[in-house]
Amino acid sequence: MLSSLIDFSDYSFIKCNTVKSDPLSSRSMASKTPVGFIGLGNMGSPMAKNLLRNGYPVIATDVFPESCKELQDLGAQVVDSPAEVADKADRIITMLPSSPNVIEVYTGPNGILKKVKKGTLLIDSSTIDPAVSKEMAVAAEKMGAVFMDAPVSGGVGAASLAKLTFMVGGVEEEYHAAQELLTCMGANVVYCGQVGTGQAAKICNNMLLAIGMIGTAETMNLGIRLGLDPKLLAQILNMSSGRCWSSDTYNPVPGVMEGVPSANNYQGGFGTTLMAKDLGLAQNTATNTKTPIPLGSLAHQIYRVMSARGYANKDFSSVFQFLREEEGQ
Amino acid sequence: MLSSLIDFSDYSFIKCNTVKSDPLSSRSMASKTPVGFIGLGNMGSPMAKNLLRNGYPVIATDVFPESCKELQDLGAQVVDSPAEVADKADRIITMLPSSPNVIEVYTGPNGILKKVKKGTLLIDSSTIDPAVSKEMAVAAEKMGAVFMDAPVSGGVGAASLAKLTFMVGGVEEEYHAAQELLTCMGANVVYCGQVGTGQAAKICNNMLLAIGMIGTAETMNLGIRLGLDPKLLAQILNMSSGRCWSSDTYNPVPGVMEGVPSANNYQGGFGTTLMAKDLGLAQNTATNTKTPIPLGSLAHQIYRVMSARGYANKDFSSVFQFLREEEGQ
Amino acid sequence: MLSSLIDFSDYSFIKCNTVKSDPLSSRSMASKTPVGFIGLGNMGSPMAKNLLRNGYPVIATDVFPESCKELQDLGAQVVDSPAEVADKADRIITMLPSSPNVIEVYTGPNGILKKVKKGTLLIDSSTIDPAVSKEMAVAAEKMGAVFMDAPVSGGVGAASLAKLTFMVGGVEEEYHAAQELLTCMGANVVYCGQVGTGQAAKICNNMLLAIGMIGTAETMNLGIRLGLDPKLLAQILNMSSGRCWSSDTYNPVPGVMEGVPSANNYQGGFGTTLMAKDLGLAQNTATNTKTPIPLGSLAHQIYRVMSARGYANKDFSSVFQFLREEEGQ
Amino acid sequence: MLSSLIDFSDYSFIKCNTVKSDPLSSRSMASKTPVGFIGLGNMGSPMAKNLLRNGYPVIATDVFPESCKELQDLGAQVVDSPAEVADKADRIITMLPSSPNVIEVYTGPNGILKKVKKGTLLIDSSTIDPAVSKEMAVAAEKMGAVFMDAPVSGGVGAASLAKLTFMVGGVEEEYHAAQELLTCMGANVVYCGQVGTGQAAKICNNMLLAIGMIGTAETMNLGIRLGLDPKLLAQILNMSSGRCWSSDTYNPVPGVMEGVPSANNYQGGFGTTLMAKDLGLAQNTATNTKTPIPLGSLAHQIYRVMSARGYANKDFSSVFQFLREEEGQ
């Protein structure tokens, strides 16, 4: 399915892992103790199911009761609040839409930290501002718990097939414990460093991805108008220094490649608004760290305009279509 | 040497060639007739030498007499003007700095077209505006001659080692005749289409290269400030959708790779002013064809500013250095 | 009419004139000798009529015969080519769409310079690349003629009412002679310096205008989304350092001002494609002079995209509409 | 002094005030009750002094004890924490460097809200994210207090001379009470609307100011390279549609105007890092409201790069100097 196109499933991500790992720590494998899961949306639901499939009891909750029903039928215990999850599980995974949700679920009146037990491992797979990840880690540490950020690459398809890639930030000593759970849900787990670096890695990758995609779209469009055949131009770029993932794996020009969103009217794939959201995070972290990102910033603006002009739900490679139209057409 | 880093010598460029080629046409191989060569600069001089090495008599000229001396000592016949070259050779290669030079050498008072013979093959390896290539082709055709554009990738090192890549535009029937000569000077020759498409391919590649390089520099800088180890970040990007030639082959961050300009204080490689020049060509062709190139255009501005602020002669990957400095340092 | 909104008719432009002027030179006023006029389009036609109204015999031509008819009925003599105009008049005004037209009309096979008489005054009111103006001046000088560039501000309405502003470049000695004619067609004439500086002044003004307009649109849009009343925000900006022509005289937000295109669904005014054309000229001159114009360049890209996405014929202040739409609407 | 150049002191800002005001409410004027002041930096200190001059008892605090000493000598009562200020005064003004400081001073362990009395009027003159202003207002309301944002325009000079401009957001009923105090410290007070709109107005103005300044710098630089005299070009722009505050009041080109930072090697005025900070706020609010600001965003990046490349403490008009240098110089 196209929905899994933006994963890294062809790569041996685990090789990046600089931690010598003994993947099954004795503590947790003596018996499979319950795992908490908060946030049962399009991504969270299949992730939680994969924990169940791997034999872990799951204690789950979500603001939408209907999201809990399916998981309950599969054997999960559903509770009313993050605080209750924290009361019953000492390993908890959260998968939420944005920073404010994460703040609420961890530090809100019924949040995890109200009832978290000492030594609990908290893994947040949401894609959020790394500064918020750091805040959560500090708050968790005050309660004697451990917080790690572990955002994912890969869409709903990769989540269902347990082929996600996790980029993990947090104290190295706890990485193995996190890895045990994450490998049930993903094909690759990479340790990135201190808390927040998982988010940083994801944000950085997606920013460069956006720049490469818009650049490829501009370049292909220019070449075509200058008389080059699009397939030949793609071949030339891919053998040359212009080569990038967007030119050789996910070419945005219809007719150049098969099995990519550009071959399917830009349906499926990674939506323009999702890219705009990730670029917003990149923008915020860059602003806050006083880091100049001229192209990343302009890429953000372009996806922002596209989101408002009918491209919101198209794959982000539709920037080719956005830029290509000629006057008078 | 670093000077050859921006070539395509690891790739089998020739595979792009969609023309079924019989590389040695009977006409030219009966005996090696003289080849004209105009423009004996840093690139032209080693190119002409490679023609001599392959047994072609060379008739050469250059505006700087001293440039001719060395080639003369190696056996070339030196004459006074492009017109004289045209008088003595029916295959002529030109390698000049910019569009105005090309216009002068072809159509000026002592230009090639003043004495060109019917059927002469004119190959221009300069990097210029494709619109000028088309003008020269029209002017040549009026005189019964054939003009092809064949700009190169690869620096002085690649020129010396006959490892250049030529991107060729022009009538397909004459491509084999051009190929015979170009293979003496380069490792790869790719046929791109009608006149001007060689220039178009080169301009497009270099525009995407510039975008990818600045994007990589921004991304690495942002990641580092967010606490990621630069080598690890490069690994993650290179296994992911952020991957591009600038991240995996020519990384701009000192310490990430060896044998690239960033490992050598940005010396050697492809200078910032040369990149700014190529981006100026991209900008002009985009403006003239009403093609939007938001990132390409901004990349142009960035290299323009860098050229004026002390980075003129540094490799274009020094954009990392340009962007990285922090306030107060 | 809205079409004259972008003129300078409220300003005493003439004050800029640093030349001490005796507006009526004895030579030309002894009797009104014929004036040539080439290019009878939307702008050229009313300009030529104003010369007729002021008592000048007009010798005219245009590539479209129908354009000549109306002027002929008003008393102009119509001839077949620019060369013929040059044969019959020693003062000639040209008003053409773009650089290639100017090159053709001056240096083409039936061009002015084929029959131009020594001492002829050539005034080009087209908006073109200043480099082309300089080329034409050199070519004219070889024939003993004098070339001046005198592009206009103001639309069709200002042309009809003889309220154009002319920005004039050329040798200072001939400025008075040019001024005599230009004051028949415009309210303000400003001497800018050597040949090409008239074009330069126009290009510079319009580039800053485009930047100010997009900036105003962004700012108003941001302020509105942050809860500010648009009229109050405009008031605040206009009393503050954010003030510019686009905020205080031509506000792009519907409802803030009356009598501007934003009050009339962006009809009339100065079309997006015309702005894109002028920004293309700015871009080209900046590229050719190696001048960084980051905002001007991005403004160019934005108007280029708008031109292709349904805004081609709307006033350039419609960039507010282009940027304002929200996701999901 | 140059430091007051970016104020609005020449404008009758008060005219914007849509509230019919009775400037002296009976409550506060029966006798001058104490006013709290928190944040005695470069700006806060002269502001507090002006309250003293106007006869208000001042209860002050600052994290740096030495900042308090001078004010104490002038008669202010110095206390140890914001909470203590809140204990002793029912009108409090805060003037702090950035959002985190504001959050700490209001909601921290020794913050204002720990001891604030019902009905207390809290006025924050810091320049911060309007979202933080709204958060503070909500937190204050819970304690029965009223929070208003009132950021200033005008530098240290304007603060000393009580010539600041205040842009005020908050509930309209309390505006008069705020106005009473603000008029002691500023020449102009403008009511902008609900809480956060004061910040919004300031951010919007400064974003458009930055765009206009960079645009003016680019335009002047381009014109100069095209042969125009800078003074003449400024005259033309200022009479035309390119006119803006940066071209007619604060021209960035040395020699064009007197009494501005460009006439004084860009000393004084409004520093590049301060502009970068305000653009960072604009960027954040735009990202958070999904508002595209292509030029504002690029302006932010440019001032960010400048801040790191030796322009941190120069006036923001030094962008002309940053862009003007030519290759080879």
Q: How far apart are CA B209 and CA B272, in angstroms?
A: 12
Q: Which residue of A309, A311, A313 is the best one to mutate when testing the C interface, meaning the one whose CB has the most C CBs within 10 A?
A: A309
Q: What is the mean pLDDT of chain B?
A: 90
Amino acid at the residue D281: L
Q: How far apart are CA C220 and CA C212, in angstroms?
A: 12
- The arithmetic mean of pLDDT across residues C3-23, rounded, is 37
Across A16-163, the runs of DSSP E, i.e. the strands, are 35-38, 58-61, 77-78, 91-94, 121-124, 146-149, 152-153
Q: Which domains are present in chain C? A: 20-194 (3.40.50.720), 201-323 (1.10.1040.10)
Minimal CA separation from B185 to chain D, in Å:
33
Please check whether residue D14 is in contact with residue D164, taking contact to mean a CB–CB distance below 8 angstroms. Answer: no
Q: How much is the pLDDT for D196?
A: 97
Number of H helices, E strands in chain B: 15, 9
Q: Determine the distance in angstroms separating the CA of A85 from the nearest CA of chain B, rounded to an integer.
A: 31
Predicted confidence band of residue B30 (pLDDT cuts 50, 70, 90): very low
Q: At residue A232, what is the residue type?
A: L
Q: What token pair was written down for D37?
A: 């002041």
C-alpha distance from residue D231 to each of A223, C212, D227 (Å): 42, 20, 12
Percent of chain D scoring above 70 in pLDDT: 89
Q: What is the pLDDT of residues C40-98, one digit of tens each?
A: 999 999 999 999 999 999 999 999 988 899 999 999 999 999 999 999 999 999 999 99
User: Considering CB atoms only, which of C284, C290, C301 is closest to B297?
Assistant: C301
pLDDT band at residue B325, thresholds of 50, 70 and 90? confident
pLDDT of residue B149: 98
Q: Could you tell me the pLDDT band of residue B13, with boundaries at 50, 70 and 90?
A: very low
- Give the residue from chain B lying closest to A11, CA to CA: B239
Single-letter amino acid code for the residue at C210: A
Contacts of D312 in chain B (CB under 8 A): 327-328
Least confident of B30-34, B196-200, D116-120: B30-34
Q: Which residue has the tokens 């003449």?
A: D232
Q: What is the pLDDT of residues A305-317, one digit of tens each?
A: 999 999 999 999 9
Q: What is the pLDDT of residues A135-146, one digit of tens each?
A: 999 999 999 999
**Contact call for A245 and B247, based on CB within 8 A:** no
- Reported in sequence order, the residue ranges of B91-201 that DSSP labels E, i.e. its strands, are 91-94, 121-124, 146-149, 152-153, 164-169, 186-193
Rg of chain C on CA atoms, in Å: 21
Residues 6+ apart with CB under 8 A from C292: B301, B304, B305, B308, C286, D218, D221, D323
Lowest model confidence (mean pLDDT) among A33-47, A284-298, C155-169, D5-19:
D5-19
SS3 category, C221: helix
Which residues on neighbouring strands pair with residue C38, listed in sequence order? C61, C94
Element containing residue B283 per DSSP (H, E): helix B272-288
CA C19 – CA C22 distance, rounded (Å): 9
pLDDT (mean) for A213-225: 98
List chain C residues with CB under 8 Å of D290. Answer: 326-327
Q: Between the CA of residue C153 and those of B91, C91, C248, C271, C278, what are the distances in Å?
A: 52, 22, 19, 14, 12
Pairing type for strands D91-94 and D77-78 reads unpaired
In total, chain D counts a number of residues equal to: 329
**Are residues B296 and A222, on separate chains, in Cβ contact within 8 Å?**
yes
- Say how many C-beta atoms besides its own lie within 10 A of residue C28's C-beta: 18
Question: Which is it for strands C77-78 and C146-149: parallel, antiparallel or unpaired?
Answer: unpaired
- Percentage of the residues of chain A whose pLDDT score is greater than 90: 84
Handedness of CA C251, C252, C256, C260 (dihedral sign): positive
Chain mean position to CA A98: 11
Question: D93: Cβ–Cβ under 8 A, 6 or more apart, which residues?
Answer: D35, D36, D37, D38, D47, D48, D51, D123, D124, D125, D181
- Could you tell me which of B54, B60, B128 has the C-alpha nearest to residue B91? B60
* pLDDT at residue B181, as a whole number: 97
* Residue with token string 């006439």: D263
C239 and D201 in contact by Cβ < 8 A? Answer: no
Is residue A191 within 8 Å of residue A172, measured between CB atoms? yes
CA distance B157 to B50: 13
- State the pLDDT confidence band at C326, using cuts at 50, 70 and 90: low
Q: For position D155, what pLDDT does the model report?
A: 83
Mean pLDDT of the B260-267 span: 96
- The interface predicted TM-score (ipTM) is 0.89
Write the CA distances from C104 to A64, A85, A241, B108, C140, integer angstroms. Answer: 71, 80, 40, 19, 13
In this predicted model, what pLDDT tens digit does every residue of A68-107 receive, in sequence order? Answer: 999 999 999 999 999 999 999 999 999 999 999 999 999 9
pLDDT at C285: 96
How distant is the Cα of C106 from the closest Cα of chain A, in angstroms?
A: 29
User: What was the pLDDT predicted at B5?
Assistant: 37
Cβ-based burial of A108 (10 A; exposed 0-12, middle 13-18, buried ≥19)? middle
Q: Is 60 exceeded by the pLDDT of residue B27?
A: no
Instruction: Tell me the pLDDT band of C328, cut-offs 50, 70 and 90.
Output: low
| Whole-number pLDDT of residue B31 | 60
Tell me whether residues B290 and C304 touch, CB distance under 8 A.
yes
pLDDT value at A23 more than 70: no
d(CA A85, CA A98): 20
Q: Cα B10 to the chain's mean position, in Å?
A: 17
Lowest mean pLDDT, pick from B152-161, B194-203, D135-144, D272-281:
B152-161
Q: Is C58 helix (H, G, I), strand (E, B) or coil?
A: strand
User: Is pLDDT at B70 greater than 70 in this prediction?
Assistant: yes
Q: Give the nearest partner residue to A298 out of D288, D294, D307, using CB atoms.
A: D294
* C-beta of residue B168 within 8 angstroms of C-beta of residue B175: yes
CA B255 – CA B257 distance, rounded (Å): 6
Nearest CA in chain D to A292: D301
- Partners of B153 in the beta sheet? B165
What does the DSSP 8-state code read for residue B172?
G
Contact call for residues C322 and C311 (beta carbons, < 8 A): yes
Residue B326's pLDDT band, with cuts at 50, 70 and 90, is low
Q: Are B36 and B210 in contact (CB under 8 A)?
A: no
Q: What is the pLDDT of residue D328?
A: 54
- Shortest Cα distance from B18 to chain A (angstroms)? 9
C49 noted as active-site residue: no
Q: For the residues C1-27, what does the mean pLDDT come to? A: 37
Query: Residue C8 — very low, low, confident or very high, per pLDDT cuts 50/70/90?
Result: very low
Percent of chain B having pLDDT more than 90?
A: 84
Name the residue in chain D with its Cα closest to that of C198: D228
Q: Which residue has the tokens 């686009």?
A: C246
DSSP D259-328: SSGGGGTT-SSSBHHHHHHHHHHHHHHHHHTT---HHHHHHHHHHHHHHHTT-TTSBGGGHHHHHHPPTT
Residue from A132, A194, A204 to probe the interface with B (highest B Cβ count within 10 Å): A204
pLDDT tens sequence across D39-98? 999 999 999 999 999 999 999 999 998 889 999 999 999 999 999 999 999 999 999 999
Say yes or no for a CB contact (<8 Å) between C301 and B292. yes
Residue D15 has a pLDDT of 34
Quick check: B50 pLDDT over 80? yes
Closest residue to A13, CB basis, from B16, B239, B327:
B239
Residue range B85-128, pLDDT digits in tens: 999 999 999 999 999 999 999 999 999 999 999 999 999 999 99
Q: How far is D113 from D121, CA to CA, in rounded Å?
A: 12
The single residue of C134, C142, C163, C202 carrying the catalytic annotation is: C202
Distance between CA atoms of D56 and A225, rounded to whole angstroms?
A: 71
Where does the pLDDT of residue A148 fall: very low under 50, low under 70, confident under 90, or very high at 90 and above? very high
Residues of D in contact with A305 (CB under 8 A): 292, 294
pLDDT in the model for residue A10? 36
